[in-house]
Structures are given as C-alpha cells and as structure tokens.
Amino acid sequence: MSRQTWWFGALFALALVCWQWFRPVSDAPVNQQDYQPDFVAKNLSSVQYNRLGLPYRGLDAEYAEYYEPLAMTLMEKPVILLYSPDGQPQWRLSSDEGMINTNDNAVLNGTVVGQGLQPDALVETLTTEYLELDFINNQLHSNRDVQLRSSSYQAQGQGLLGKLDQQTVELLHDTRATYINP
C-alpha cells in the first residue's frame, strides 16, 4: 500500500473517532407532552349505535386515559358489551385492564371474563388472562389458557378463535372437555 492510502485510512479512522466522541447524546429527556393523556375519565360509560338507532357496542370503565397521538385509550376495569344485530345484549366482557384503539381493536388483560347474555348462548362463561377483540371482523382471539362453561359442559384449552357473528368459539390446542348430562 502506498503512503497516500495509509494517510487517507488514518484520516477516515480519526473522523470516525471524532464523530463518535462529539455526536449528540440521544438520551435527552423525552417531551413529556407526548406521553400525557389528552383526557382522563372516571366512571366512563359509552354506547355506540348503528344506523337504525340500535346499540351495537357499549363500554364502561372505572378509569380511562385517551392518547390522541397513539389513537389509543387505556382503561382500568373495562366492561365491553356487544349487542346482536337486533340490538339485544349478546356478550359482556370484563377485565382488570384493557386498551382500545380507533382501528376498532381491543385488548383485555388480567382476569378476563366473558358472559354470554343470550338465553340460548352456547357459552355461558369464558375465562382467560388475555383476549383480543377484532370489531371489524367480529372475532375474539387469545393465545392463553381458556376455560368455557355452560350448563351442559366445561371445556378448557389453549388458544381461542371466536366468531361473534356466527356465535362460534373454537379452542385451538390441548382441548379437554367434560359434558354434563342433566
């Protein structure tokens, strides 16, 4: 190698060292306004109606914080009511904490309990630690242990796929069921 190549290599290495040494520190404090809720609500209650004026979704929470830049609401003790197309209460889903975003998805964490509210509901009680609700596709998802109960059976398994419009719930893995003959 020529002396000129060594000279340019040394200058390049010196430039890298100087760049690393004098570069601005990226650990600067974060703008606190970005992480402050746009509004806070206690004892929140909301009902959404369809074009016919019938309820299709309700939401109650002991405490909620809305973050507009994230398009997200964080909730404590949320209760989500889902209605059938004719406006009758279909499901009541409650948990310790939850999150709902403007893309019509919700996540419930902690002790999640779902109750079938229709008189002919195949599932009377659904229990898990984690549940995702996809309101656009009318589906429930979970990748945790799930217990289903009714007057005629008890089932448990891991993972869940529920289709609200079809009134079906499927346990995905390691399913065990006990049927009760009255």
Q: What is the pLDDT of residues 7-17, one digit of tens each?
A: 777 777 777 77
Q: What is the pLDDT of residue 169?
A: 86
Q: What is the pLDDT of residue 166?
A: 79
Q: Half-sphere exposure of 38 toward its Cβ, with a 13 Å CA cutoff?
A: 8
Of 58-62, 125-129, 145-149, 174-178, give the lowest mean pLDDT range. 174-178
Q: What is the pLDDT of residues 59-104, one digit of tens each?
A: 999 999 998 888 899 999 999 999 988 889 999 999 999 999 877 8
pTM of the model: 0.77
**Class of domain 28-179 as given by CATH:** mainly beta
Q: How far apart are CA 80 and CA 89, in angstroms?
A: 11
DSSP state of 69: T
More confident residue, 35 or 178: 178
Phi, psi values for residue 162, rounded to 5°: -120, 140
Mean pLDDT of the chain: 86
Phi, psi values for residue 48, rounded to 5°: -105, 140
